[in-house]
Structures are given as structure tokens and as C-alpha cells.
Structure 1
Amino acid sequence: MTLSEAADDRRELVDRYFARVPGAEERNRIWLYAGGGAAVVVLGVLITVAGPWLLGIVVIALGGAGLVRGLPLYEAYRDACEAALPKPRDVIIDKIRDHELAKVRRRAMERLDLTVEDLELAPADWDPLAEPGAGSVPREPLVVTGPVPTSRATVGGDGVWRFSRYAVLALCPTDYHLALYRCVIDLRVAGLFQEETHEYHYADVVAVLTAIRDGGTLPVNGAGGRFEKVLLHEFQLVVASGDRSRIVFGISDERHPDRQVKLPPSSIDDVVRAVRTMLRDKKAPEISG
């Protein structure tokens, strides 16, 4: 398979996964116009044969109008089903996402001109007692990822919401500064978009927090129906200049707090804990002997 063919297959998989499957409302409209129109045509023919042919012709014309209206509805329904079915498995979409996140980690190191030896922080969930060769600490950027809420979204068979585009923030703590790499990944297209890099002295980082902001008019639907007021839960890293690096890691309904969008795991708690620990260690005053 050529690279072009692989890219085409990937686009088709992602497009099919996020394409909407027509619902009962569309099917009912087809039956109303096409099925009902056909029934009215048959009735008109019977009326014409039975006697009042003029009335029969009028009835046939009405039924024909229904058929004419129903045919394009059926064609649109058929095309939508062909575009959306069969759905790729959730695990396939997750593998595409994981593949892109691995690229982000490598790209972050390249753009920030760092090596693994420069990093001072192991993954927050690494357990040296559970890993073979405990003396070798695996070092890689800490990654926070969250959906771009305005991108296409669908709910998988496991109840998890998946989005076609994700914002990614890679944090690279070194001995002397905190380097950040930010980008957007698009599951449909291989590539990293909207790339940014930032580098801060630890003294300039004033807050690492989770916050909530208004999600505006985002069209979010949950198990209980459409969210009345959407709230976006964000990870934020704030520096002295007022700049904020932020990533959405949760979506909920303000008026119904128990209704939340189930997203792929983001390890947000581990990342926040790890970065706060690093900042405390780096910003703590030295104790003279």
C-alpha cells in the first residue's frame, strides 16, 4: 500500500466514524411521502376504475406529488447511510489518536531542541517497582490533551465521546526552565497544526490550575438530551505576564452537574500533580547548612 492509499484509507475511516447515521425521523418522512404517495396513487387508480375518473385523476396526481417529494428524501437517506455505515470500531480511532500523540511527543522535543536527558520528570504514573530495570527512569514530555469542542464529535459504543480534532499541550520540565509545545491534531489528516512553543523560567509560572468557563452555544447532547448550559473544564498554566496555556479536559451541563461528556482518558490529575510538585521543588528557597 502506498502512502497516498494509506492516507485515503485513513480519511475514509475517520469520515465514516464521525458521519451521522440517519435516524427514525428521516425514515418516517420517507414513509410519509414515498409510502403514503404510493398508497394514494393506488387509491386513485381504484377510484378511476370504479367510476368518478376525474376524482381518481386528482387523487393520483396528489399521490404522485408525494412520490416526487419522497424520492430525493430516500436518495439522501441512502447516501447518508452509505457514508456512515459500517462504522469503524472505536479501538481503530483510538489507535489513530495514540499514533498522533506519539508524533507530538517527538515533535515537542525537536521544536524545543531538547533530549530525553534534559527532562527532569518521569511520567507521573510510572512505578519503578512495577517496571523491569527500575534504575532506568523513562523520560518523556508530560502530555495534556483535550477535544476541540467545535470539531466533529460522536459517541462510541463504549459511551465515550470522540472528536475529530484535539488540542495537545506537551510540558517539558528541565533543570532550569519549563518548556511547552502546543499543537492541534486532526485524526483525518496526518500532521500537526497550529504549532506553538513557549519557554518559561520556573519563577515566572504563577499558577497551574483547573478552571471552568462558559461553553457558549456549543451543540452538546448527553444521555438526558441537549445540555442546557455547556461548561468547559480546562487545565491552565498561567505565567507572570498573564499568558495562559489552556486545554479542555471536560464538558458538563451547569444546570445538571451529573450530566457530563465522557471523554478519552487525559491523565489530567496526574499531570497537574506532577507539575505542581516540580514547581514546588524548583521554586522552594534553598536552605543553607
Structure 2
Amino acid sequence: MTTFDQRHQRVFGAQINADAVHINPSDGPEELMSYGRRAVAERLYKRAAEYFTEAIAKGAPGSDPHYYLALALLGGRRPSRMGREAQQVMARVEEHLGRALQVDPAAAHVRALWVAVKRDHYADRHDPGPSVADLEAGAGDIDPVHAAEIAPFLGNRENRLWKATVAVAQAGIEERKPNVRKYFVRTPVPPVTGGPQAMMVAGGIGLAVALILMIASLSESGYLCLAVLVGAGGIVLLVKGFSQYNALTSKYERDLAAAEPKPSDEQMDMWLHFDKFGVLDHALRHLDRELDDLICEPQLVIGPASPTEQAVGKDGIRRFSRYKFVILLLGQTRISVFSCEWDFVKCIVSNADAFDFRYKDITGLRTRQLHEAPQGGRLVITDDHGKEMEVRFAKVFEMIIAGTDRIAVTIDVQAQNAGAGLQPTGATATERLVRRQLDDAA
């Protein structure tokens, strides 16, 4: 189907939009919180706010429901970048942060987020309280996951919280490498050892018979030759059976040690979460940009890089050994882009590229489905047996610049695990945000 974008550029393929929120009345608070966190990870903040609001209405315990609702209401924007709606948004944000501290006065991440938005919003105006000093006085150590969520609301990368999060992202990389490798190695099936074991049993029986014949040969010499033949055959069977059994079990133990114990799905997501933050910090330094230069939080679109290995976790989510990261830093009139491939196993950045352009240079923006990838554009995935295969793209995020340059990230693939779920890609939120900026600039 042929469609047109808001700049009347002709595009081919279906235009993909996020589905409307559908909350099932039977969903409990825990499920709603899980859906909301997923929406936050995708930067779909309006959807996330609906989930958290419903979770609170259904009695979700603790401070996190109010903390995450405040985070969703901010929508990835610092109050100073909200314009006329800043006061109204801040009133709701502070209401829920206050309610979160009523539930848990020691919640360090709630205090840290409140401090960050207060410093940004009340820099040159009256702060109705609680004061930044009071909030900081009661703050303890912040969970690194929450620190990464709060970091986009800081003014610059020299902030203590930002540096601490970068340190967490960089720590323990060497120790984690063999564990990540195991996630993508197929757990071996125990070998069939019936044949070698039968040979060893037969060999043992042969030796026993040979011994009996040798005893019998003491009174009847004719049994001696037969005892030697049977004994020799028994030894051959025993040695051959043991050799085969040992080879099978040794290989299985080596393969098992290479594949197990696997890290959990949650641990893999945690490592990738901090990898993304580390690459973001690298991108900001490489492009010499500060958070103060941006109109909103950095936009990250992520998908598999070719070639890659894949594994489907116990949670049904497909994960990859290599990713493509595209980070977009949106300014008032220009976009800076950092693109690279990230080896999730070896923790290596490759094929890095950085450039910037004006909004008016964007001539096409789409997320489309492809029935057939263009020549040379297919994703190569290594299957469980180590065999490489090409798979067709199912969905691609694309941005066309000045009619010729193209930014593209595969965000879904048609692979052998067609029913597997996806990790957050950030594509939908990025497309919507850039479109909004294009509309404002038109």
C-alpha cells in the first residue's frame, strides 16, 4: 500500500502505529505495573500513565506505583522544556512523588527524581517545598536501575548520579562475558550411552566366563584355549565400550559447562539496560553534547545487527548476541545521531558513525513491514546448531535524510521462533516524537 508522510514524501509499506491501550478488568496490580514498566522502557509514556493510574486504583502497594506514574507524566521531558504546560505537569508530578514518600519516606529514588525536577523547574522561581536540601538530606543509596531512569532529567553528565550509573555500566564486564556467551549456547541433550554400556557389560561377562573356563581348565586342559579367546574378546569389548562411553560423557560435560548455568532473562535484560546507558554516555561524549542541549531525553532505537545469534528465554522474549543502536539527540533545530553495532557478548562497539542534520532535511520517516528484504539487506542469524541462515525483515524503522541518506534499524524479524516476543525497541516513541518536531517546524 502506498502512503504519504506529513511532508508528502511517498512511502511504501504499511505505516505502523502503536495500538491503543486496552486494560483488562481482570488485570491485577502486579500485571498492570509490569505492563507500565514495559511501556516506560518503550518510552510510551501516555500508555504507561494509564497502566500506573489503574494499578494505583487497584491498590498496588509501595512507593513505586506513584514514582513510575510521576516518571510517565514527565514524558521524558525536563520541566524547563515543557513550555506553558510545565506548571500543570509539575503539580501532578509533585503530588505523586509526595504520595510515594508518604508510603516510603526512605525511598532514595523518589527523592532523587524529585530533586532533579525541582532543580530544573524552580531554578529561578519560588519552590513551595519540600526543599531540595531536605530531600537530599534523607536520601540514601539509589538502585542503579532507578538511577538510569532519573539520569535524563539531570542537567549534565558531570552530575554525581550520572557518573555513578556509568560506573555501574562499566563494572564487571569481564566477569559477565562467559555468562552472556552461555545464554546463546544450546544446552546439550544427554548422550545415549546404551551401546557403550552394553559393550562394557558384555566384556565383563566375557571376562567372567573366561575365568570360569580357566578354573575348569585345571581339570580339563581343553578349556584353556577357549578361556584365552573368550577373555581376549571380553577385554576388547570392555576397553572399546569404556572408550566410547568416556568420549560421549566427556563431550557432554564440556558442552554442558559451555552452556550452563545460563544467566536468567532478568539478568540479561539488566546487562543490556546498562549497556545502553554506557553507549549513550559514549555517544554524548563523542558528539560533544550535553543534556542541557536537548529538548527531551535521548531517543534510542535498538534492534538486531547482522550477523547475530539469538535465543528465546523462558519468558518467551527473543534476545540477540549483537545489536544495532541508533541514538538520536533532538535539539531545537537539529538532530545529532550516533549509530553503532554492539557486541553483547564481547562488549565491543563497532561500525560507529556520528553525524547531524536539520529537521528540514528529513524527507521520510516510517516504520514499515517488509515481505522481502532488499538485496544485501537480510539479517543473518546463527541457529541453535551453529548454522547461519538469512531471515526476512518483518519490521524496519527508517529515516530518509535529504532524499539519499538512510538510517535503518531492524526492529523485528521473521525467524524460526515466529511466536517469540520482542524486547523494547523504542521505535514507535522515536517516530512519534520526531514527527511532532517536524509538525512544529513546518
The TM-score, its normalising length taken from structure 2, stands at: 0.50
Q: Which residue of structure 1 aligns with residue 178 of structure 2?
A: 12
Retained in 1: the 8 A contact 2:307–2:379?
no
1:60 is displaced (CA, Å) by 4.8
1:71 is displaced (CA, Å) by 1.7
Which of 253, 269, 272 in structure 1 is aligned with 2:431? 272
In 2, Cα distance between equivalents of 1:4 and 1:114:
21
Distance change in 2, residues 1:5/1:210 (3 Å): closer
Q: Residue 218 of structure 1: SS of its match in structure 2?
A: strand
- Which structure has more helix as a fraction of its residues? 2
In 2, Cα distance between equivalents of 1:20 and 1:88:
13
In 2, Cα distance between equivalents of 1:5 and 1:207:
40
Retained in 2: the 8 A contact 1:152–1:165?
yes
Q: Which residue of structure 2 aligns with residue 40 of structure 1?
A: 202
Q: Residue 206 of structure 1: SS of its match in structure 2?
A: strand
2:267 equivalent to 1:92: yes
Q: Which residue of structure 1 aligns with residue 301 of structure 2?
A: 144
Which of 385, 392, 396 in structure 2 is aligned with 1:231? 392
2:225 equivalent to 1:68: no
Letter in 1 for 2:406: R
Distance change in 2, residues 1:175/1:241 (3 Å): same
Q: Which residue of structure 2 aligns with residue 22 of structure 1?
A: 188
Distance change in 2, residues 1:87/1:216 (3 Å): closer
2:423 equivalent to 1:248: no
Larger Rg: 2
Q: Residue 209 of structure 1: SS of its match in structure 2?
A: strand
Retained in 1: the 8 A contact 2:327–2:339?
yes
Paired residues, number: 252
Once the two structures are superposed, what CA deviation does each residue of 1:119-144 show, in whole Å capped at 9, x if it has no partner?
A: 23xxxxxxxxxxxxxxxxxx321000
Distance change in 2, residues 1:261/1:240 (3 Å): farther
Retained in 2: the 8 A contact 1:36–1:63?
no
1:87 is displaced (CA, Å) by 1.9
Q: Residue 381 of structure 2: SS of its match in structure 1?
A: coil
In 2, Cα distance between equivalents of 1:119 and 1:156:
36
1:250 is displaced (CA, Å) by 0.7
Q: Residue 34 of structure 1: SS of its match in structure 2?
A: helix
Q: Which residue of structure 2 aligns with residue 82 of structure 1?
A: 257
The TM-score, its normalising length taken from structure 1, stands at: 0.74
Distance change in 2, residues 1:201/1:73 (3 Å): same
In 1, Cα distance between equivalents of 2:277 and 2:424:
15
Retained in 1: the 8 A contact 2:200–2:237?
no
Distance change in 2, residues 1:178/1:249 (3 Å): same
Retained in 1: the 8 A contact 2:306–2:379?
no
Query: Which piece of structure 1 moves more, 187-196 or 270-279?
Result: 187-196
Structure 1: unaligned runs, 5 residues or longer:
121-138, 285-289
User: Where do 1:87-236 residues align within 5 Å?
Assistant: 87-120=262-295, 139-211=296-368, 212=370, 213-214=372-373, 215=378, 218-220=381-383, 230-232=391-393, 233-236=395-398
Q: Residue 424 of structure 2: SS of its match in structure 1?
A: coil
Structure 2: unaligned runs, 5 residues or longer:
1-168, 214-225
In 2, Cα distance between equivalents of 1:4 and 1:274:
30
In 2, Cα distance between equivalents of 1:251 and 1:179:
27
Retained in 1: the 8 A contact 2:202–2:238?
yes
- Which structure has more strand as a fraction of its residues? 1
In 2, Cα distance between equivalents of 1:229 and 1:4:
33
1:86 is displaced (CA, Å) by 2.0
Retained in 1: the 8 A contact 2:310–2:383?
no
Q: Residue 366 of structure 2: SS of its match in structure 1?
A: strand
Retained in 1: the 8 A contact 2:339–2:352?
yes
Distance change in 2, residues 1:63/1:275 (3 Å): farther
Letter in 1 for 2:283: A
Once the two structures are superposed, what CA deviation does each residue of 1:142-190 show, in whole Å capped at 9, x if it has no partner?
A: 0001122523332222111222221100011222222211122233344
Retained in 2: the 8 A contact 1:152–1:164?
yes
Once the two structures are superposed, what CA deviation does each residue of 1:79-134 show, in whole Å capped at 9, x if it has no partner?
A: 222232222222122111111111222222222222223223xxxxxxxxxxxxxx
In 2, Cα distance between equivalents of 1:67 and 1:21:
24
Letter in 1 for 2:351: Q
Q: Residue 179 of structure 1: SS of its match in structure 2?
A: strand
Once the two structures are superposed, what CA deviation does each residue of 1:191-218 show, in whole Å capped at 9, x if it has no partner?
A: 5333211212222222122243444663
Retained in 2: the 8 A contact 1:33–1:67?
no
Distance change in 2, residues 1:34/1:110 (3 Å): same
